[in-house]
Structure 1
Amino acid sequence: MNNEVAEKISILMMQINAQLNDSIALVRDNCTQEEFDSYRRGAAKVMAEILLKIVNPLYSEHPELMPEALDGTYKVNPKIFEPRFYEW
């Protein structure tokens, strides 16, 4: 995969992860504890699959794209997360 495509996929995966986090907060703030626990477990499984099957292999092939938040060198533009789905 070329670097331009890899960078776009990396950004998309960061956005997806942020939206999943927002959805977890939405459920936490508006549902029962039981619903929240179940939803959080399901969302965590999705996030883990994204990490293991897409993100880790991508950063193995393109380590220069690893974000600073993960101890890499890639500077993420915070605007990629706007507009937020849910404000906590």
Structure 2
Amino acid sequence: MNKETAEKLLAISMDCSRDTNESIKRVMECCDEGTFKIYRGHGGKIMGYLFTEVIAPIQSEHLELAPPDFKPMQHTERPRLRLTKESQDDLLALLNRLYEQIETMAGIVRENCDKVEAAMYRSRTHEVLVHVADAMACVLAADIEEKEG
């Protein structure tokens, strides 16, 4: 990722972290301790995943954007698929269709269910989308072989 994009994503991430922290403070100020503890758990997950899945990988790639005490993440090489270009293209087309279908499901739920149910299904469909995107990354990173014969 280029530095300009990294800077933009880090700025948005920091805004999200501040907003999440502010929401935790608001619940602490106006709710009982039990409610606060429940909500703080959700806020903690938001900020934790934001750091481990967005901020730390960016700062590991662009150490000049990291604080002085930052310890870069170790990069581990994933096993790579070996595909023909045709197989890669076919798999990407299938995964893109799958991604779009799951996004459509989320939209249907959002438009046709109560707010609580819609939020729960958005979370569930998001989890599926994470794995579809991981599969896409795996296919895109494949070693491309020449087609035999």
TM-score bin (small chain): 0.7 to 0.9
**Count of aligned pairs:** 70
For 1:10, the aligned partner's letter is L
After the TM superposition, which parts of structure 1 deviate over 6 Å for at least 4 consecutive aligned residues?
none
Q: Does 1:20 align with 2:6?
A: no
Q: Which residue of 2 aligns with 1:39?
A: 39
Deviations 1:35-79 (A, max 9, x none): 1000001110111111111111000101111146xx36xxxxxxx
| TM norm structure 2 | 0.45
Q: Which residue of 1 aligns with 2:58?
A: 58
Deviations 1:16-39 (A, max 9, x none): 101111000000001111110000
Give me the whole-angstrom Cα distance separating, in 2, the residues matched to 1:11 and 1:67: 14
Give me the whole-angstrom Cα distance separating, in 2, the residues matched to 1:10 and 1:67: 12
For 2:59, the aligned partner's letter is Y
Give me the whole-angstrom Cα distance separating, in 2, the residues matched to 1:50 and 1:19: 12
* Alignment RMSD (CA, Å): 1.2
Q: Which residue of 2 aligns with 1:76?
A: none
Q: Which has the higher strand share?
A: 2
Give me the whole-angstrom Cα distance separating, in 2, the residues matched to 1:67 and 1:24: 24
Give me the whole-angstrom Cα distance separating, in 1, the residues matched to 2:25 and 2:46: 16
For 1:9, the aligned partner's letter is L
| TM norm structure 1 | 0.74
Q: Which residue of 1 aligns with 2:5?
A: 5
Percent identity of the aligned residues? 36
Q: Which residue of 2 aligns with 1:84?
A: none
Name structure 2 gaps, 5 residues minimum.
Answer: 71-149
Name structure 1 gaps, 5 residues minimum.
Answer: 73-88
Partner SS state of residue 14, structure 1: helix
